[in-house]
Structure formats: structure tokens, C-alpha cells
Homo-oligomer: A and B are copies of this chain.
Amino acid sequence: MNTKTTILTGDRPTGPLHLGHYVGSLRQRVALQQDYQQFVLVADLQGLTDNGSNPQKIRDNIPEVLADYLAAGIDPDLTTICLQSALPALAELTMLYMNIVTVARVERNPTVKNEIAQKGFARSLPAGFLVYPISQAADITAFKAEVVPVGDDQLPMIEQTNEIVHKMNSLLPAPVLRHCKAMLSDTSRLPGVDGNAKMSKSLGNTLHLSASEETIHRAVSAMYTDPNHLKVSDPGQVEGNVVFTYLDAFHADKAKVAAMKAQYQQGGLGDRACKNELEVCLQELIAPMRERRATYIQDKSQLMAMLKNGSERAHEITQATLKEVKQGLGVPVF
């Protein structure tokens, strides 16, 4: 019997993954897959919640995301990679949970509120987007995940999931669902290469795992530093200086980075030298991922076969949870 703690993570397949995902989640998943029973959910249905009229975007990005996973080092023998739409139990649990969550409660969810505002939905808000915390609770509980890695902006989702767990368990003769805990990443969100707090494809300030040597070079060269640091001898600021933020996130030698920061603040360390150091580090990080990724993406049917395989395993697990919930509620199970 598997006694490892279950962890669920995932991504909406809305585009290839980038360094922000690498720092925020991919790197962590690679580290966690040895010690946890890890599931990674390719959330294609959640991808459709705000791409309902452009389903091709979601379809096309599924193999891209799979190639990113493998390139980053996620091992399908250790991590179950599965597709949300291939798991009917998730939709069925969502339907059941929707009856015990009020509209007022989801409207009050701070994560949903923010995202609605960000996406400028107003009156055109799709019903699926409003109920997506409920769908997320279905995902988490279907796998009986105990740990869910999230950014701090997603904490209200975990809180809402646990409310649903509590309420649903109270309706059952014996508890079936498991409470979950957030696992906060120790790296804060990686800014875009232009210094914008949000890294996103639409802003053109990302570096993908497939970025070429030249793309990396240009991105680092153009990177935002301290606009007042004009001469090498000038003292410079490291706070808000994207080059140092990236060095903190990616450089293996923390002592060296600390020494560079001290020298930069004092004066005497030029932007060019810092950028060279960062570029070497990023080139070394990305090159092997880029190469692996190029191989994987050539055979999309093999990537999809891997996804099918993981989905079959996930189907068994999520069906078992659904069956327990239904039996507890007295819903006939044929």
C-alpha cells in the first residue's frame, strides 16, 4: 500500500511554460516526485472556462505543456500526468458540490473576484468561470490530495475547498473527503524580463523552456536593472533590479550572488558583468531542457499516449472517490 502523501498540482494548457513556471512549480515538482505520490493535472476544462470560444488554443497547447513537463525533469514513472477532461468523476463531483455551495460564497472568493476584475469580464462572465473554485475543489478532493502547491493568491481556493470537504463530509455517514493544506513556494513570483511584476506571453516578457541561445542573450541584454546605475563605479540598487532577482532565483552559488550584490551596492560592479553571469547561468539551465523538449515535441502522439496512460490511472482513483461520495449520499451506484 502506498503510504506517501498525495500532492496535486497542474496547469491550464493555455501556452507553453516559461521560466516563471519553472521557478514557481516545475522545479519543485521534480524535487517532490521522489517523496510524494504526485499527480499533475492538465486542466483543459479549466482552460476552456475563459477560452470557451477558442477551444483550439487549448487543444494545441496540451502537447506543448507535456513536452515542457518532461523537459523540466518530471518523470511519468514517478508522477501521474493526467488530463482533466478524461476524468468524468471531476465533472460529476463538481455537479454534486455545486448544490452545497451558494452563489454568494463563490462571488465572495477573493481569488475569483481578482481574476474576474483582471480579465475584465463584467457582465460577460461565463458561468463556468464563476464556479471554477468548485471545480477546483472537485479536482483536489477526487485525488484525496493532502498537499496542494499554490501561490499565496490561491489560498482562498484552498480555504473554499476545505469548506466543501467539511460540508460534504457532514452529509455522509462517515467522512470520505480529505482536508488539504497549501504548500507555498519559497520563491516569490518571478517578474518578466522587462521588470513587469507579471510574466506573461501576451506581454512578451517571458523566456520559454524552448528559448534559443540568441533569445536568451537578447532577453538578458535588454533586462531591466537600476536606471540610476550609469557608471560601473556608481553604487547601484539590487531591489527591483531584475538581473539580481533572476540571479537569486537561478544561480546555484548563493554566496557568489551575495558578494555580487554587496559590490553592486557599493559601486564597482557593472551591469554588463552581472548580465554575463546571469546569461551563463540561464544558458546552462535552459540548453538541456531546450534539447530534450525539441525531441519530445517531435512525437506528439507519444506525448498523448503518456497522457492517456496517466489518465487511466487517475480515472481509477477519482472514480473510487466519486463512488464513495455517491454511496454516502445514497445516490445509486450501478
Q: Which residues of B contact A99 (CB under 8 A)?
A: 48-52, 126-129
- CB-based contact B124/A52 at 8 Å: no
Q: With an 8 A cutoff between CB atoms, is A45 at the interface? A: yes
In this complex, what residue of B is CB-closest to A90?
Answer: B95
Is A304 a contact of B332 with CB atoms below 8 Å? yes
A270-302 at interface with B (beta carbon < 8 Å): none
SS class, residues of chain A in contact with chain B? helix
CA distance A88 to B127 in the complex (A): 19
- Contact (A55, B88) CB under 8 Å given A96-B45, A101-B126, A103-B126: no
Check A131/B98 contact, CB under 8 A, given A59-B330, A329-B55.
yes
Minimum CB distance partner of A52 in chain B = B99
Could you name 15 residue pairs across A and B whose Cβ atoms are closer than 8 Å?
Answer: A45-B95, A60-B330, A83-B332, A85-B92, A88-B88, A88-B91, A91-B92, A98-B126, A99-B129, A100-B126, A101-B126, A101-B128, A104-B124, A131-B131, A304-B332
Ordered nearest first, which 8 A-B pairs have the shortest CB separation? A59-B330, A52-B99, A98-B128, A88-B88, A99-B128, A91-B91, A55-B329, A98-B127
